[in-house]
Amino acid sequence: MKDEEILAHFDGRGRVEITLRGLDVGQGDKITAFAFELGYKLHEAVGVTRGQWRMVYLRDDSPDVRQRAQETRDRLRTGGPIFSQPQMPAGTPPGNGRPVSPIEAAAARRNASAYETHGAKGIVAFVALLSLACFALAWTLRDTVGTSLGCSVLGVLLAAASAFTPRLMRVWYERNRAVVTLFGQQQSSQGGPPPPPPTPPGGHP
């Protein structure tokens, strides 16, 4: 999908629905980054089929977001890029990391939102079920010592993984929040309004 096609969707309407197929599925984060600059937030991303996704965006009418959208449109109207040049926040020591790109921020925002919506319970349950399946298979094949032992070992490993998954998912979530926060600080240092970081589970920042 070309940039002009993406921009045409975000023309001020309240709801935007885009269906991605084939190679376009890989452009989801880019489209979300465009939407963010133009004052929209990702409402849902649904896998329709194996090679088809439906992305739904809603216009955010909060004052700071409308200001950001207007600044973006003004920049485009004068022939500038949709994204301003990313820069590290003022006061950052030289060589301390690199700027976060808008597309990286879009991916991090989507990941954080997914964690806040679904948490780690689904993944933990899935891994635990796989572990139980391995133990059941080991019992079924108990007369075949080698195969049964292999299934038992795999079951133990999966059980251990299910125990550590919530902690690992939390670390992954915090990393994504940190990316979103840094991107907001970059925008603030450039004079644009910073987007708030996703609200952590429990409703406390």
Dump pLDDT digits (tens) for 67-86: 989 989 998 998 888 887 66
Query: What per-residue confidence (pLDDT) applies to 32?
Result: 92
pTM over 0.75: no
Do 130 and 203 lie in a common domain? Answer: yes
Can you give the length of the chain in residues?
A: 205
- Lowest-confidence segment of 115-119, 141-145, 169-173 by average pLDDT: 115-119
Domain count, the chain: 2
Tokens matching residue 148 = 């049964």
Do 205 and 120 lie in a common domain? Answer: yes
Q: Residue 144 in 3-state DSSP?
A: coil
Alpha helices in the chain, H assignment, sequence order: 3-9, 28-37, 63-77, 102-118, 121-140, 145-189
Q: Among candidates 128, 178, 192, 126, which has minimal Cα distance to 155?
A: 128
| Separation of first and last alpha carbons in the chain | 36
Do 66 and 146 lie in a common domain? Answer: no
Q: Which domain holds residue 27?
A: 1-82
Do 36 and 69 lie in a common domain? Answer: yes
Q: Sign of torsion, CA 136 158 45 202?
A: positive
Do 76 and 113 lie in a common domain? Answer: no
Do 74 and 139 lie in a common domain? Answer: no
Do 66 and 1 lie in a common domain? Answer: yes
